[in-house]
Amino acid sequence: MKFEDNLKKLEGLVAKMESGAMSLDDMIKAFEEGRGLVAECQKDLDSIRLRIEKVTKDGAVEELEA
């Protein structure tokens, strides 16, 4: 799944949980699913961060250190 899709799904889960309309069991399941989505989003962000290049003032390109 793409980062944006995971983020939208996570936002949807948070909205449902904040609405108070979920049972405790459903809320726990949503929380567990949300933790997995957060982990996927973080993995994607870490990967993207490693691909970013920094352009210096003189126009040279430097790899961003991890």
The model carries a pTM of 0.72
DSSP labels, the chain: --HHHHHHHHHHHHHHHHHT-S-HHHHHHHHHHHHHHHHHHHHHHHHHHHH-EEEPTTS-EEEPP-
The string of pLDDT tens digits covering residues 3-61 is 999 999 999 999 999 999 999 999 999 999 999 999 999 999 988 777 776 656 666 66
Q: Where are the domains of the chain?
A: 3-63
The string of pLDDT tens digits covering residues 12-22 is 999 999 999 99
Q: What would the two tokens of residue 50 be?
A: 């490693």
Widest distance between CA atoms in the chain: 58
Q: Is the pLDDT of residue 66 over 60?
A: no
Closest of 5, 4, 13, 6 to residue 39, by C-alpha: 6
